Structure 1
Amino acid sequence: MKTLTSEDIILQMVQMELQAMHFYQHAAGCLQDEDARFHFELLADEELEHARSFHALLPSPEAVSFEEMEQAPPQPCDEVDCAALAGFNQLQALEMALRLERKVEQDLRRRCETINDAQARAVLEKNIYSTEGHALLIAEDLERLRSSGTGS
């Protein structure tokens, strides 16, 4: 089994963030509720910024072009069922986004447990922290929607 370097982990994190961006973009295109679509477009923008920030951590960021990584065709988003998403309201869309962010966080934590390289581990921990923050923001939006009685 290949030992992952910090550069390998960083590139994986960039790819993961870009994949999340593509997911949110694709899902936003399925949503009919304008507020739900807005939230998913915002989440896509945030994922792009996360990817950019991870790319900047590369020892030689110019060696791997961020623009090329961003423009690469996305992997298929099997989780996106446009027919099911089409009827989602803002509350349902954010609930789904929160579940996805928490799943990603759990996956990152499991992965972090298997990494021995301190630098690579630090990159994963930064992504865990970022993902936790994302989930907290989504949870706050959900709480506001629930307490205001809007979003459905």
Structure 2
Amino acid sequence: MFDIDVQDAIFKSIQTEKNAMNFYQFGAGRMKNPDAVKVFELLAREEREHAGHFHKIYQRNDIPDLEAFLNTPPDHASDWMASLAKTIDADFTEQKAMELAMEKELGLEKALRETAARIADPQVRAVFELNARETRNHYEMIESEYARLMAMVHESDMDTYVRE
């Protein structure tokens, strides 16, 4: 049941959070809508924080300085950055970037929850579960901004429209 190398899983999670951070930084730099830019900039900062959560429980010494690691150039071959590059090649829009971000966040949440379920150490499992919840929050934040950007009814206005 717990046939996972926990330190490898943590390292991969740090790398994934860095890739997500780079994705949001890169996307924010190409957006025109100031509110969409703010959302992506916030998400980039939060991905940096998530990497920090994982780094605190990482016991190997191959990432001695997290900030230096996070400030290295993006891995354009990573799944996050490669997906964004395809979007940019196909006429980048905030809508496409947000759709891709929602897809990536859902996939990451699922992976974090699956990994958490395979970790015996309750403290390490708790870090994965926390990041899964925060990833769900990212999805919901993007979904809300996407609805606003697309001039959809915002969830806070739903009762008003339903009653009329």
Matched-pair contact (CA < 8 Å) for 1:101–1:135? yes
- Using structure 1 for the length normalisation, give the TM-score: 0.72
SS in 1 for 2:82: coil
- Matching residue within 91, 97, 100 for 1:96: 100
Shift of 1:93: 3.2
What CA deviation, in whole Å up to 9, does each residue of 1:108-149 have, x standing for no partner?
22333333443432222121111112112222333444227x
The answer to whether the 8 A contact 1:19-1:75 is kept is: yes
Give the length in aligned residue pairs.
Answer: 143
Alignment match, 2:157: none
Q: Who is 1:47 aligned against?
A: 47
| 2:5 match | 4
Match of 1:137 in 2: 141
TM-score by length of 2: 0.68
Matched, 1:124 2:128: yes
| Structure possessing the higher radius of gyration over alpha carbons | 2
Question: 1:147, 1:85 → 2: CA distance?
Answer: 26
Segment of structure 1 superposing worse, 36-45 or 19-28: 36-45
What is the letter of the counterpart of residue 97 of structure 1?
A
- Structure 2 residue 90 is the aligned partner of structure 1 residue 84: yes
8 Å Cα contact 2:53/2:127 also seen in 1: no
SS at match of 1:115: coil
1:34 to 1:135, Cα distance in 2 relative to 1, 3 A: same
8 Å CA contact 1:17, 1:48 repeated in 2: yes
List runs of 5+ in structure 1 lacking aligned partners: none
| Equivalent in the alignment of 1:23 | 23
Q: 1:60 to 1:104 in 2, by over 3 A?
A: closer
Between the aligned residues of both structures, percent identity stands at 34
Greater RCO (Cα-Cα under 8 Å, separation 6 or more): 1
